[in-house]
Amino acid sequence: MASWQPSGKELRALGYPEGPVISVALGIVRQHCKHQPREQVLALLQAVLDTPAAYAADPLLAPVAAKLLPAEPSVLSLNQGGAPFRIFGAGDIEQEALHQMYTAAKLPIAVAGALLPDAHSGYGLPIGGVLATEGTVIPYGVGVDIGCRMCLSIYELPPEELDRRTSFFVQELDAATLFGSGAQFERPSDHPVMEDDLFYRIPLLKQLHGKAWKQLGSSGSGNHFAEFGIVHLPHRDPVLDMSPGNYLGLLSHSGSRALGAAVAQHYTKLAMSKRRLPQEARHLAWLELAEEDGSAYWEAMSLAGDYASACHHVLHDKITRRLGLQPLRRVQNHHNFAWKETLHGREVIVHRKGATPAGRDVLGIIPGSMTASGFLVRGKGVADALYSASHGAGRRMSRSQVLQNYTRRQLLDVLEEHGVTLLGGGLDEAPFAYKDIHTVMQHQQELVDVVGTFTPRIVKMDGAAPKPWQEKKKKKG
């Protein structure tokens, strides 16, 4: 029986694109499949066309699959000099964070940057790093906990009530909050953000809608907290516009929960598949805002920021109703986000990963630790810092280092010394883990004016026990 010889016309009819793949496929089929039935060969060629990745390692058909698969992007080069950036408090910043910032500044899309005094190493940008780019957004320049924010409600109630009715405030804080990476409410709260059209328009967000609703108003693990404390205003600030004195404050710190993490991971993978960077910069892959994926990430990031804000409002509104008071003021700011801003007359995308917006007369909160006071600040609008300030004291020890070097007893002693009641909260978040907030503030005097202070008194955090391997290291130390 005569053998069947395929033609280029038949492969084009299957959907094979014009180009070398047709001649490669014809050569393989004519050499190795010439005695097989026509229908069987065409079915095999159709399968390779439909799912080339499944045949990438096939001993016979791998050359065909390789021509059909998207070409691996070439590795992009970093600039030698790098964009200019200023370092605030360089003497107290670890070398790894400095190295990460220097790497980010060498990206071909980098315009300018800043490294703030609370900086420490992270993925992509260092935490406390600020980077301006043009027309592009870096998902890991924003971070995993998109839109993580601070929110402070100030009440006209004597803070002495915290001592007089400690058990009442402990009960209210405990009842209104839920902490933990996987924590979900049995009865979700309502908020307009859950009706946002993006939840129905972007497939990824549609999949996340149910869990996001159950987590609305909850807080994560790690350094997330909700706390009652004393707000001290030494003078009347023209922007805050409140009388000097002491007030009751409710301060919270948390972000966009599982929603933000999923968005960050999904679009980081897309960015890394589109733009290959040297190993040390691989997490800094970017998306063009003009391309579909970049536009979709920007929308998803913005929604995650709105969702993080809603989580705080749900929490604060719950406690406000229980207190029977309306807050005199509510001050809030977010970090782990990207903004479209103007720098030296040029529109740029400013990534603030663990950095507080500090444009002129912009209010913000820079917290200390479980026991150290935080600061209510007003930005001075310094361009060299990309209109930014630190987002806290910044870690000086990793979690495992704290567990190795300190004990729970030492944590309890320092809490008692400062008159702080702790609900939950692990040793890995003890005050010992953090830099001196007063030193950090000294390094950024030119960036912000201090409007007031917040001194924590009743603190709620995630109470999950340290991981077993961390406990073992602590015992050995």
Under 8 Å CB-to-CB from 6, ≥6 apart: which residues? 26, 29, 30, 38, 41, 42, 45
Under 8 Å CB-to-CB from 224, ≥6 apart: which residues? 179, 253, 254, 255, 461, 462
pLDDT in tens, 140-173: 999 999 999 999 999 999 999 999 999 999 999 9
pLDDT in tens, 263-308: 999 999 999 999 999 999 999 999 999 999 999 999 999 999 999 9
Specify the pLDDT at position 3.
63
Q: What are the residue ranges spanned by the domains of the chain?
A: 8-68, 140-363
- Domain 140-363 CATH (choose: 3.10.250.10, 3.90.1860.10, 3.40.1590.10, 3.90.550.10): 3.90.1860.10
Nearest C-alpha neighbor of 179 from the set 146, 218, 151:
218
1-5, 30-34, 95-99, 394-398: which has the minimum mean pLDDT?
1-5
Residue that has been written with the tokens 């929308």 in this structure: 299
Burial zone of 473 (CB within 10 Å; 0-12 exposed, 13-18 middle, 19+ buried) = middle
Backbone phi, psi, residue 399, to 5°: -60, -45
The whole-angstrom distance between residue 177's C-alpha and the CA centroid of its chain comes to: 21
Confirm if 300 and 198 have CB atoms less than 8 A apart.
Answer: yes
Specify the pLDDT at position 75.
83
Q: Which residues pair with 378 in a beta bridge?
A: 363, 449
- H/E element holding 327? none
Euclidean distance between CA atoms 473 and 404, whole angstroms: 6
- What pLDDT band is residue 136 in, cutting at 50, 70 and 90? very high
3-class SS of residue 353: strand
- What pLDDT band is residue 475 in, cutting at 50, 70 and 90? very low
Q: Model's pTM, two decimal places?
A: 0.84
Euclidean distance between CA atoms 364 and 450, whole angstroms: 10
63-72, 217-226, 231-240: which has the minimum mean pLDDT?
63-72
CB atoms within 10 A of CB 13: 10
Q: Is pLDDT above 50 for 420?
A: yes
Q: Is pLDDT above 80 for 71?
A: no
Confirm if 218 and 179 have CB atoms less than 8 A apart.
Answer: yes
Q: Are strands 374-379 and 363-366 parallel, antiparallel or unpaired?
A: antiparallel
Average pLDDT for 74-86: 90
Q: Is pLDDT above 90 for 37?
A: no
Specify the pLDDT at position 474.
34
Average pLDDT for 82-101: 95
Specify the pLDDT at position 150.
98
- Of all residues in the chain, the percent with pLDDT exceeding 90 is 84
3-class SS of residue 286: coil
Average pLDDT for 213-240: 97
Specify the pLDDT at position 465.
60
- What pLDDT band is residue 472 in, cutting at 50, 70 and 90? very low
